[in-house]
């Protein structure tokens, strides 16, 4: 669990994923944070956190993910798009 949490925690917030995305989506960045926090063994994350973070992303004008997968190809920390899958799974479970 610690290794999985650390993999997601290595995101440095550089913004390369946003810059390359045709939708200007920050989904990989947001998903890395959600995947990190949801994997930590200290306790359950607020179940509404993924929805709140995605709303904040949209409120700031970032686009939505439509699976171009350009983000993971440029991420210097090799954050995988599976983090977005994790985020979406948590999002749908919370509804």
Q: Which residues bind ligand SF4 (CB under 6 A)?
A: 11-17, 28-29, 32, 75-77, 79
Query: Which residue number, 27 or 43, has a Cβ lying nearer to ligand SF4?
Result: 27
30 versus 43: smaller Cβ distance to ligand SF4: 30
Nearer to ligand SF4, 37 or 79 (CB): 79
Cβ 31 to ligand SF4 shortest distance, Å: 8
Can you list the alpha helix ranges (DSSP code H) found in the chain?
2-9, 16-20, 27-39, 49-59, 70-74, 82-93
What angle (nearest 5°) sits at the alpha carbon of residue 4, between those of residues 33 and 12? 40
Cα angle value 62/82/93 (rounded, 5°)? 80
């Amino acid at each position: 669990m610690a290794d999985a949490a650390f993999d997601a925690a290595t995101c440095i917030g550089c913004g390369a994923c946003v810059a390359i995305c045709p939708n200007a989506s920050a989904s990989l960045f947001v998903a890395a944070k959600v995947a990190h926090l949801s994997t930590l063994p200290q306790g359950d994350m607020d179940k509404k956190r993924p929805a709140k973070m995605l709303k904040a992303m949209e409120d700031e004008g970032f686009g939505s993910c439509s699976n171009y997968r350009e983000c993971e190809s440029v991420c210097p920390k090799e954050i995988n798009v599976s983090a977005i899958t994790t985020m979406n799974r948590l999002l749908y479970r919370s509804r």
